[in-house]
Amino acid sequence: MTNNRKEMGRKIVLSKAVRDDFEQLQRKLSIEFKDVSLLYNAFTHSSYVNEHRRKKYTDNERLEFLGDAVLELGVSKFLYMTEPLMSEGELTKLRAAIVCEPALVSFANELEFGRYVLLGKGEEQTGGRTRPALLADVFEAFIGALYTDQGMEVVTAFLEKVVFPKVTGGAFSHVMDYKSRLQEIIQQTNTGQLHYEVIEEKGPAHAKEFMTVVRLDEKLLGTGKGRSKKEAEQEAARHAIVALKSGQVEE
């Protein structure tokens, strides 16, 4: 493996307050970097490097490149293991939604990554700390740094805390047609009819929440919530598929 110090360039010299912030971040994540310079580098934006050229710092773009590939591998393996009924096309579509910029930004914001980014003064003044592309890049760079420092097993453990629960919790249901998948599963083994029913509707007109059930004839297969009837039906179908795969419902 390439020597980290050579790869990273000169190690970043940070103030005690900033070092303390990164210590706090590691405690919050329950991760302790063996080479903390990798962590610093993951949060170093090119604008910071440009303002400290004499110190020959390195920005996070190379770690971002690596993290992008590592993240895609981790998500691919997770989907392959947990979604045996999905086709290659469906897996690709779902993976793309999980690793796209808006999703990465939501992960970064949940972890408050923006507050730790090392920015140049100009980038700071123009709101760079909350810029979506910057936050997505930092998340990928962090994955790259963690992989370089501790390997894929630790990266997977991190994803199991931050990313995978969102997938199993239905955060990406909108990109998949679970109703069609459920229909295909049922048609293979049953002759009954699927039907969806809204059993509860609450909230003001601008923020409605629907609860929907899906049944095979009279047998309850799944329940789902959503901000629209369509979203609730998709979530109910997703839960039904999970229940059928786990044997909680007889097909």
CATH number reported for the structural domain that contains residue 115 in this entry: 1.10.1520.10
Q: Answer yes or no: is 251 within a domain.
A: no
Q: Are residues 119 and 43 in the same domain?
A: yes
**Percentages of the chain per state (helix, strand, coil), in multiples of 5:** 65, 10, 25
Which SS3 state, helix, strand or coil, does residue 151 take?
coil
Instruction: Please identify which residue in the block is written with the tokens 């994540």.
Output: 29
Domain assignment present for residue 133? The answer is yes
The amino acid present at 188, given as its one-letter code, is: Q
Same domain, 192 and 131: no
| CATH number of the domain within which 217 lies | 3.30.160.20
Same domain, 163 and 73: yes
Residues 188 and 148 in one domain: no
Number of domains into which the chain is organized = 2
CA distance 85 to 234: 16
Q: Last residue of a domain, which of 168, 193, 212?
A: 168
Output the tens digit of pLDDT for each of the chain's 251 residues: 444 444 444 566 677 888 899 999 999 999 999 999 999 999 999 998 887 776 667 899 999 999 999 999 999 999 999 887 788 998 999 999 999 999 999 999 999 999 999 999 888 888 889 999 999 999 999 999 999 999 999 999 999 999 999 988 778 877 878 898 899 888 887 778 999 999 999 988 888 899 999 999 989 999 999 888 988 998 899 889 888 877 766 55
Same domain, 133 and 233: no
What's the alpha-carbon Rg for the chain, to the nearest Å?
22
Residue 141 lies inside a defined structural domain of this protein: yes
Residues 157 and 183 in one domain: no
Q: Which of 115, 146, 168 is the last residue of a domain?
A: 168
Looking at the fold, whether 88 and 160 belong to one and the same domain comes out as: yes
23 with 146, same domain: the answer is: yes
Which residues are identified as catalytic?
68, 140
Q: What is the pLDDT of residue 5?
A: 43
Specify whether 129 is located in the same domain as 208. no
Domain stops at, among 122, 147, 168: 168
**SS3 category, 219:** strand
Domain match, 86 and 15 both: yes
User: Which residues constitute the domain of residue 151?
Assistant: 4-168
- Count the Cβ atoms, other than its own, within 10 Å of residue 195: 11
Co-location of 44 and 159 in the same domain: yes
Q: What beta strand segments (E) does the chain contain? A: 194-202, 209-216, 219-226
Whether residue 114 lies inside any domain: the answer is yes
The pTM for the full model equals 0.76
Please report whether residue 81 resides in a domain. Answer: yes
Residue 249 confidence (pLDDT):
66
Query: What's the pLDDT at 4?
Result: 47
pLDDT for 10: 53
Secondary structure (3-state) at 118: strand
Residue at 200 is within a domain: yes
Identify whether 208 is part of a domain: yes
Residue 56 counted as domain residue: yes
Q: Are residues 144 and 235 in the same domain?
A: no
CA–CA separation, 212 vs 109, rounded Å? 31
Nearest to 82 by CA among 3, 14, 169, 150: 169
